[in-house]
């Protein structure tokens, strides 16, 4: 059985995970999600590793804060800098927001790429990297990660 459950910003449990949701900025209602294993803690008794998914959004300082401490942030980056776009960040916008944030994020994966990004991946990574010194990569279909 498949069950759809509409959620609002806040916290809830789902399939063995504690989930936090926050509203993000897009042309329609969208949420970002932070997943941690239910009742988990790291080896030293601290916060468990988290995975944060941005959903469709502009680059937001509040989202960078929401991702603070996450092992992985999968963030919308749909277009290269050469495309004038609203509701999705360009690499330079995302890099600026992440670089200015007081947030520790293990690794950032760029997602939700439009065909405009074909042949532009290195330039996009460089553009983010000019403004943010964290580990940034492209996500790909079928990518599987261990969140540690």
pTM listed for this prediction = 0.91
Give residue for tokens 């943010």.
Answer: 132
Distance in angstroms (rounded) separating the CA atoms of residues 9 and 109:
23
pLDDT at 5: 87
Listed in sequence order, the residues at least 6 apart from 114 whose beta carbon sits closer than 8 Å to its beta carbon are: 78, 79
pLDDT at 9: 96
Decide which of 1.10.1060.10, 3.60.15.10, 3.40.50.300, 3.30.420.310 is the CATH code for 22-138: 3.60.15.10
> Cα(first)–Cα(last) distance of the chain, in Å?
31
Max Cα separation, the chain?
Answer: 46
Distance in angstroms (rounded) separating the CA atoms of residues 6 and 118:
34
pLDDT at 40: 61
pLDDT tens digits, one per residue of 12-66: 999 999 999 999 999 999 999 999 998 665 556 667 899 999 999 999 999 999 9
């Amino acid at each position: 059985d498949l069950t759809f459950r509409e959620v609002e910003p806040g916290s809830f449990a789902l399939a063995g995970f504690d989930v936090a949701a926050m509203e993000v900025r897009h042309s329609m209602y969208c949420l970002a999600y932070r997943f941690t294993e239910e009742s988990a803690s790291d080896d030293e008794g601290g916060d468990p590793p988290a995975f944060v998914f941005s959903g469709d959004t502009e680059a937001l300082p509040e989202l960078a804060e929401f991702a603070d401490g996450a092992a992985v942030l999968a963030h919308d980056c749909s277009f290269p800098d050469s495309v004038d776009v609203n509701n999705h960040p360009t690499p330079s916008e995302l890099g600026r927001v992440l670089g200015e944030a007081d947030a520790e994020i293990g690794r950032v994966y760029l997602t939700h790429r439009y065909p405009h990004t074909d042949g532009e991946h290195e330039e996009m990574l460089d553009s983010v990297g000019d403004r943010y010194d964290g580990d940034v990569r492209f996500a790909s279909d079928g990518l599987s990660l261990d969140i540690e």
